[in-house]
Structures are given as C-alpha cells and as structure tokens.
C-alpha cells in the first residue's frame, strides 16, 4: 500500500533534449561524422533565442553551461531548483538505453545494429518476416527515414501488400503498413512475431509505423507501437511496484519497459494529449506514487527531421506544460525533468546524438548537484520514495 505520509515522484523525460558535452561523443557517429560538438539545446537557441522561463528558473541554462561550457540565448536565469547534468555509460544513444539507465539499469551488452547496406537484414530474417506477414516478400530492407520510405514505397505497398521494413543507426527494426489496406491489428501482430525473432539478437525494438492516405499523400498516424526487449534487471518501476506503490506511465514508457512494473498506463495521440494526462496525474496521483512520463515529439517530429524551428516551438510549448505541472504539485513531491539522449537538429544525418542531458528538479529548493550519472536519477528517486536502492547509482538528494 502507498504511504500517505510520503510525497510523490514524477520522472519526466524530454525525449532527445541533450545539452552537449558527452565525454565519449567522438566514438558515436552520424554517418561518418562523430557526435563531438553536437549540442541540441545550444544550437537551437543559437538559431533563435528560446523563451523557457519555467525550466530555466529550475536551472536549464546553468545545466547547459555546466555540461558544455556554452550559453544559450534566452536562457541563463539564476537557478531556483535542483540542477545538474547527467552522463550515460550504456553503449548506445537510443531510447531503451537512456530510459533503462535513468531507471537504474545500464545496458550490459552491445546492441545489434543492422548494416547500412542494401539489403540490410539477413536474408533468412527477411524470409521469416514475409512468412509471418503471409506475403511474398518485404519492401525496403535498408536504412531509411520513415517519412521518406513511406512516400517512396507506399504505392508499391498498396499494390503488393508487402510490409515496408527498414532500420536506422539505432538498434531497431521498423515496419510500416497501411492501416486500412494491411490492417492495424494485423500490423501489430506481425510486429509481435518479429520482435520474438530479433530480441534474441539484441535488437532493442521493433516499431509498428502505421500510415494512411494514397500516393502523394501518405501520412503516418499516431498509432505507433514499440515492442522493446525487456530490461535485463529490476528497474525503479519494479522496485516501486514491489513496495506496493502506485506506478503510472505516460506515453511510450510502458512500451520501453515491456509493460513491467507499471500499474496504470496513460496514452495519447500526441504530446498535447500526454500533457493533459500528466497535469491530471499531478493533481490526482496517489501519495507515495511514481509517475514516469515521456514526451517523444521533440525527437520524432523535429530532431530526426532536422527541423530547428519546430523543435524550438516544441520546447517553448513544453515549458508552459512544465509550469502547469509544477503549479499542481504538492509539498513533499519531487519532479525531475531530464532527457534520454540528444538529437541535434543542426547536426549532419538524421540520427540521435551522444550528449549529456539536463537534470532539473522541483521540490527541494536551489541545489547544484554537478555532473551525475543517469543511474543516480533512479537512486535519488528511490531515496525520495523511501524504496530500497535501485541499481549502481548514488542519490544526489
């Protein structure tokens, strides 16, 4: 049962909002270009000043300076919250690695990545995917941008019925199919079967990418679904649930953690829907509960598409959301705003960038925590909730 004397915890991930400066960035690449020098937040702010008064008041600008030594036009208020920067140790710059490590479980293996060749998938795997789909083959079989490959192969998909399969620099296999012609439930079932094929290979995720429309007007729908490999150890969510605490996931958190350790999942068609869910939870979540949220559109709509202005608008919109969430929190609560990796829209290529991330906290007053590890976030939230320690991290509270 939850403890009514305890405050609640909210772990809120701004997907891909990196702040540069990862010490090992030279070992991670977009194409042939290393991620050294990538800085999602600073480069957006240099393109046009950012108005983010709520998160900046917690210490966003200060965290950026700490992580990379850079300033961002529009940011730089004197911190009034807990603030610092976090480094990742997992051998990846992807969604599962970042989220698992924030929840106390660094990735203990090297992910499998499909080569940037055509075909990209092993021939036997492609045959097994086609057999599972009941089709004569698959389309794509390459590294590609999701919107580009749907525009290029959507017509052929409608003619043949073959699923469009593609990958990227992440450990992922994505399957695009037309919601009406192929069928949404059939699409999901196919992804479940394919996930069982590739998870033993240490491929992190199979992602269903439904779309609608016709030639020249194909568009992805909000019905994406991620089928992720299970975390290799107990996470913060598992620890909270084992202790009888209420746990809530907002957005794709449930998918990332294979729905483990989660009592209630809150979904939406957009980040705006998720913002409404999070604001409601800030008012109604149980005493002693843990809410874990992900806001994905920074990454999916603007980072990968290298849309600097769109990313800037999304950051400013989310800052307003953060202000409304903080206004609904109670004395004794802790809210941590952070990120899982970078995705610098000014950088070459279309992939994630290896960066430090901000750690901004509401509920403890001004407190500089310096540079910490992703795992220290899990340890700190566990300490706040009075849970047994989670993972190898140390609490910064």
71 is in an annotated binding site: no
341 is in an annotated binding site: yes
Whose CA is closest to 335, among 3, 44, 54, 39?
54
Rounded CA separation 58/322 (Å): 11
Lookup result for tokens 């705006």: 272
Whose CA is closest to 338, among 11, 9, 10?
11
Q: How far is CA 321 from the centre of its chain?
A: 18
Q: Token pair for residue 369?
A: 């925590």
15 is in an annotated binding site: yes
Q: How far is CA 256 from the centre of its chain?
A: 8
Rounded CA separation 104/381 (Å): 10
What distances in angstroms separate CA 68 from CA 27, 80, 104, 183, one per listed residue? 17, 20, 24, 47
Rounded CA separation 44/293 (Å): 23
199 is in an annotated binding site: no
Cα dihedral 58, 55, 264, 223, rounded to 10, equals -160
299 is in an annotated binding site: yes
304 is in an annotated binding site: yes
Neighbours of 222 (CB within 10 A): 10
The DSSP 8-state label assigned to residue 27 in this structure reads G
The DSSP 8-state label assigned to residue 387 in this structure reads P
Beta bridge partners of 328: none
Neighbours of 296 (CB within 10 A): 21
Beta bridge partners of 86: 357, 372
Rounded CA separation 5/298 (Å): 36
Annotated binding site: 15, 299, 304, 340-341, 352
Annotated binding site for Mn(2+): 15, 299, 304, 340-341, 352
């Amino acid at each position: 049962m939850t403890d009514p004397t305890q405050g609640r915890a909210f772990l809120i991930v701004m997907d891909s909002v990196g702040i540069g400066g990862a010490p090992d960035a030279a070992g991670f690449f977009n194409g042939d270009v290393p991620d050294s020098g990538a800085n999602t937040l600073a480069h957006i702010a240099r393109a046009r000043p950012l108005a983010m008064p709520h998160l900046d008041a917690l210490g966003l600008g200060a965290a950026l300076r700490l992580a990379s030594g850079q300033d961002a036009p529009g940011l730089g208020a004197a911190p009034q919250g807990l603030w610092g920067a976090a480094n990742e140790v997992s051998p990846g710059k992807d969604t599962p690695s970042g989220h698992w490590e924030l929840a106390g479980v660094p990735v203990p293996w090297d992910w499998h990545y499909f080569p940037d060749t055509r075909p990209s998938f092993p021939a036997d795997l492609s045959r097994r995917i086609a057999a599972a789909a009941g089709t004569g083959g698959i389309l794509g079989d390459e590294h590609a941008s999701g919107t580009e490959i749907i525009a290029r192969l959507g017509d052929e998909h409608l003619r043949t019925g073959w699923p469009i399969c593609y990958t990227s620099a992440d450990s992922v296999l994505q399957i695009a199919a037309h919601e009406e012609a192929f069928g949404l439930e059939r699409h999901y079932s196919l992804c479940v079967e394919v996930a069982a094929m590739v998870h033993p290979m240490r491929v992190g995720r199979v992602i269903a990418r439904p779309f609608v429309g016709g030639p020249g007007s194909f568009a992805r729908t909000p019905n994406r679904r991620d089928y992720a490999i299970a975390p290799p150890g107990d996470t913060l969510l598992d620890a909270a649930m084992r202790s009888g605490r209420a746990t809530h996931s907002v957005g794709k958190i449930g998918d990332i953690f294979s729905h483990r350790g989660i009592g209630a999942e809150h979904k939406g068609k957009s980040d705006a829907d998720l913002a409404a869910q999070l604001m409601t939870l800030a008012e109604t979540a149980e005493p002693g509960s843990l809410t874990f949220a992900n806001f994905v559109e920074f990454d999916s709509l603007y980072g990968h598409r290298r849309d600097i202005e769109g990313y800037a608008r999304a950051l400013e919109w989310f800052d307003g959301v953060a202000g409304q969430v903080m206004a609904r929190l109670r004395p004794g609560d802790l809210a941590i705003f952070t990120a899982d990796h970078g995705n610098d829209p000014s950088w070459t290529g279309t992939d994630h960038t290896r960066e430090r991330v901000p750690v901004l906290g509401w509920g403890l007053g001004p407190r500089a925590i310096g540079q910490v590890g992703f795992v220290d976030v899990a340890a700190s939230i566990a300490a706040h909730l009075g849970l047994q320690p989670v993972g190898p991290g140390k609490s910064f509270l």
